Structure 1
């Protein structure tokens, strides 16, 4: 059995044409054929951080549900701008959010996901800071969460790192996967969106989802990976 996980930075649902259009963002998400989707920048940045992606639109236009996770504010969809979508038959045994160190407020999400007929694994969804100094500290915090897990672990999200090696010193013993260029979406060059796996998780296939609509819907293209826990 394989399990598809994806990650998508929505850019607050503002596309490369300058238009805010949550419906086309959801069209891209639906096309990923994923079981779990980690989202970044689901909320607007200023004020009370209101949701840029409406929860009722997700319920109406997809067969995903929002994971039960903490939210930054009463009008927010996400925690530090992040949320996780689950197929309605996906099982999640535990959820939590935790803060990440750094100059700007950042956080990550932690879920214990149980794929059908496979052992559970720890999923950490993250959107890391803009400074490498902060990212190194953030990876130290995330690595602590991974080491404390009693199951295989995976981190996925927008890592904000252009280098293919530097900045990941805390991840000794883990595998870093780069599905491909995902930013900027109109002419992708940077492999900012990535995943990390621990022993016990295999990445069978991975890639960047590219389509004319995806190139307009956000400044990032989504990434995806097919996993096996056996």
Structure 2
């Protein structure tokens, strides 16, 4: 048995055609066939950070619901622009926001989940900073969280790292997985979206979801991974 985990930077639901259309982002999410989806840039950037992806639209158009987590503002969907969607039937055991160090405000989401037929596992969803010095400090904190977790764990998200060799020095003892180029969506060359797992978890398959709609819906393509090692 595997659990499919995905990550998708929505770019505030503004596509490469400069149109804001959250319905097509949800169509891409549905096409992923994932059990859990970490989302970045779900809120607009300015003012009170209102949701760019309406929660009512998620409920109407998908089999997912947003995990109850801290939110940036009363009309936001995310915390630091992030949220996690879980398919109905997946139990959320605990969820919290984690502040991350850096020049600009950044945070991660820590969610403990129990998928049907699988042992509980922890997911850290993150959207890291643009400066490598900040990302190094942020990875140091995330690696601490993963190391302290008593259950199988993984981190997934937009890690903003262009290098294939540098940037993950703090992940000693962890496994870094690179599904492939995911940015920019219209002609992807950057492997900015990745997965990091603790020992004991195995990534059976992984990839970048690429379709004509996905190339229009956001400036990032989603990534996904089928993870095992979670059997009871």
Short-chain TM bin: over 0.9
Aligned residue for 1:208? 208
Q: Deviation digits for residues 165-214 of structure 1, max 9, x if unmatched?
A: 21111100000000000000000000000000001111000000000000
Contact kept, 8 Å, 2:89 with 2:115, in 1: the verdict is: no
Q: How does 1:100-179 map to 2 (within 5 A)?
A: 100-179=100-179
Could you say what secondary structure the match of 1:93 adopts? strand
Aligned residue for 2:14? 14
Return the alpha-carbon distance in structure 1 between the equivalents of residues 22 and 113 of structure 2.
26
Could you say what secondary structure the match of 2:170 adopts? helix
Q: Deviation digits for residues 122-164 of structure 1, max 9, x if unmatched?
A: 1000000000000000001111111110011100000000011
Aligned residue for 1:66? 66
> 1:115 offset after TM fit, Å?
2.0
**Superposition TM-score, scaled by structure 1 size:** 0.99
Return the alpha-carbon distance in structure 2 between the equivalents of residues 184 and 118 of structure 1.
34
Structure 1, unpaired ranges of 5+: none
Task: Identify the range of structure 1 (124-133 vs 92-101) with the bigger mean alpha-carbon deviation.
Answer: 92-101
Return the alpha-carbon distance in structure 1 between the equivalents of residues 39 and 197 of structure 2.
18
Return the alpha-carbon distance in structure 2 between the equivalents of residues 207 and 147 of structure 1.
26
Deviating beyond 3 angstroms after TM superposition, the runs of 4 or more aligned structure 1 residues are none
Aligned residue for 1:42? 42
Does 2:91 correspond to 1:88? no
Return the alpha-carbon distance in structure 1 between the equivalents of residues 165 and 156 of structure 2.
16
Aligned residue for 2:5? 5
Aligned residue for 1:220? 220
Return the alpha-carbon distance in structure 2 between the equivalents of residues 117 and 194 of structure 1.
25
> 1:114 offset after TM fit, Å?
1.2
Structure 2, unpaired ranges of 5+: none
Query: How many equivalent residue pairs?
Result: 230
Return the alpha-carbon distance in structure 1 between the equivalents of residues 86 and 210 of structure 2.
22
Q: Deviation digits for residues 48-72 of structure 1, max 9, x if unmatched?
A: 1110000000000101011111111
**Superposition TM-score, scaled by structure 2 size:** 0.98
Return the alpha-carbon distance in structure 1 between the equivalents of residues 13 and 118 of structure 2.
34
Return the alpha-carbon distance in structure 1 between the equivalents of residues 56 and 121 of structure 2.
29
Return the alpha-carbon distance in structure 2 between the equivalents of residues 159 and 8 of structure 1.
12
Contact kept, 8 Å, 2:210 with 2:221, in 1: the verdict is: yes
Aligned residue for 2:186? 186
Q: How does 1:20-35 map to 2 (within 5 A)?
A: 20-35=20-35
Could you say what secondary structure the match of 2:160 adopts? coil
